[in-house]
Amino acid sequence: MEAIHKTDLLIIGAGFSGMSAALFAANRNVNAVVAGGAGGFEYSSGLLDLWGLSLTQKGRITKKPWAMLEKLSRQEPGHPLARIQRKTIQQAFSELTAALKHQGLTYAGYERKNTLVMTPFGTLRPTFRLTPAMRSNAEAVAAREPCLILDFKGLREFSAVFVREMMKKAWKGLRAETLEFPETRLQREVFTPFLARSLETEQVQEKFLTLIRSAVKDETWVGLPAVLGIHSSEKILDRLQAESGLRIFEIPTSPVSVPGIRLKEALMRALDNTSVTLFQNRRVTEVNALPKGGFHCRLDSDIQPVIVHAKAVLLATGRFLSRGLYADREKVHESLLGLPVWQPESRDQWHQQAYFDPAGHRINRAGIETDAFLRPVGPDKRPVHETLFAAGTLLAHQDWIRSRCGSGLSIATAFKAMESYLQIRPGLC
Ligand SMILES: Cc1cc2nc3c(=O)[nH]c(=O)nc-3n(C[C@H](O)[C@H](O)[C@H](O)COP(=O)(O)OP(=O)(O)OC[C@H]3O[C@@H](n4cnc5c(N)ncnc54)[C@H](O)[C@@H]3O)c2cc1C
């Protein structure tokens, strides 16, 4: 037996763009349903990038995201971020970070510039908004004072020695050490989410403090993989710093990423007791536009499928990995509604000859084209449906990995789609 759910807006996809849209909907008391998998959260560093690629020096990073976005609007006016005003992008970031702060996750950064953060590869990468433990990372990099980098026995995804070796030319006072994380003696392999959850208890924090104190020599800074808790990361950082007298910072790790999990869980908490219902990990298998307006949609489940009647739909289904797009030998397709996909004319134009070509591969710019309201358009450039919107990495004319704008793209387009929905909605009531 199917359950029936009526809503004003169905958001399909619970990655960063879908969850941001859900949060913006909740803040505006919009009756909405969000359904889908968690997308890139668990892979993401948890750093909120706005724009990190220089458009003046090929292949270089930039510390000036706004200047680059201005340049982008002249060079690539079809880029989704070039089509959204700076004021709107700023509003989107402010609203999202305010909600995260309310959930105990404080994101901050400079008004105008990116911050440079140390990565697990011993390189520096730019980002726009970051948590306190990552801000300390950037401060440590800037200070270059004696610093101990730690890793833990059985942890494969992060090596303190590797970081030291990569950075030692520019940072003389770096030392690396491997410690046994409290209460992991019997484990041959440990994982960052497990360590982070165990650090939530005071008992483990006590043992961890003793461990750090015994490892430090003349260092004032201690860097470690991102494991400082999931829900109370800021309290844990404060306590460890206050009781050790050290400056402690986190370094992002490769997936599965604790800061990404913190971000996802904070957004989920922000939706509790709001106008938005979350159907987590439910796949939408059918979306049918009804002749009288609105959509009839089906959410699959082994236990009880749900039929959702929605007045509007926001598609935030991501790209190939998330199955928002798929490709056969000839063409790229949109998976759910068969929407037209902007793409290179033929398959031999998908990729450049050189894998690391600084121009990037054209296939990465394939996606859904929209009108100014972020409504998918057909070949005639008219909206396919009056109340169908799209947001996030599904959109055409952007290469978010190369330009390091994943979060910025997701947050700004989700915000813009919500504004558009509110503008168009009066006609639906
Ligand atoms: C490896 C990796 C590292 C990243 N690192 C960073 C970083 O350091 N900084 C940064 O700013 N950004 C980073 N990002 C990008 C950031 O997470 C993006 O903003 C995000 O991945 C894009 O969000 P999205 O919601 O558009 O798509 P996705 O995250 O791909 O989410 C789309 C979701 O839609 C779901 N979906 C698809 N089809 C359906 C359907 N039919 N029914 C229901 N659900 C469906 C998918 O399951 C998926 O969960 C990273 C992403 C990845 C993958």
Digit-coded pLDDT (tens) for 268-327: 999 999 999 999 989 999 999 999 899 999 998 878 899 999 999 999 999 999 999 999
Map out the domains of the chain with their CATH numbers.
Answer: 3-104+261-428 (3.50.50.60), 133-251 (3.40.50)
Those residues with Cβ within 8 angstroms of residue 104's Cβ, 6 or more apart along the chain or in another chain: 231, 232, 233, 234, 235, 266
Where is 16: in which H helix or E strand?
helix 16-27
d(CA 93, CA 81): 13
Task: Report the residue among 20, 23, 44, 323 best suited for mutation to probe ligand 1: largest number of ligand atoms under 8 A from its CB.
Answer: 44
Pocket test of ligand 1: the residue of 317, 337, 370, 404 to mutate, having most ligand atoms within 8 Å of its CB, is 317
The average pLDDT across 92-104 equals 97
Helix, strand, or coil (residue 80) = helix
pLDDT tens digits, one per residue of 155-206? 999 999 999 999 999 999 999 999 999 999 888 999 999 999 999 999 999 9
Residue-wise burial string across 362-389, b where 16 or more C-beta atoms lie within 10 A, e elsewhere: ebbbbbbbbeebbbbbeeeeebbbebbb
> Which atom of ligand 1 approaches the CA of 408 most closely?
11
Residues 193/261, Cβ–Cβ less than 8 Å? yes
* For range 121-148, the mean pLDDT: 97
Kindly give the distance from the C-alpha atom of residue 43 to the centroid of ligand 1, in angstroms, as a whole number: 9
- Please determine, for residue 359, whether its predicted confidence score (pLDDT) is greater than 90: no
Instruction: Identify the residues whose C-beta falls under 6 Å from ligand 1.
Output: 12-18, 35-40, 43-45, 47-49, 283-284, 316-318, 322-324, 336, 392-394, 406-407, 410
**pTM for this model (two decimals):** 0.96
Residue 426: the pLDDT is 66
Amino acid at 140: A
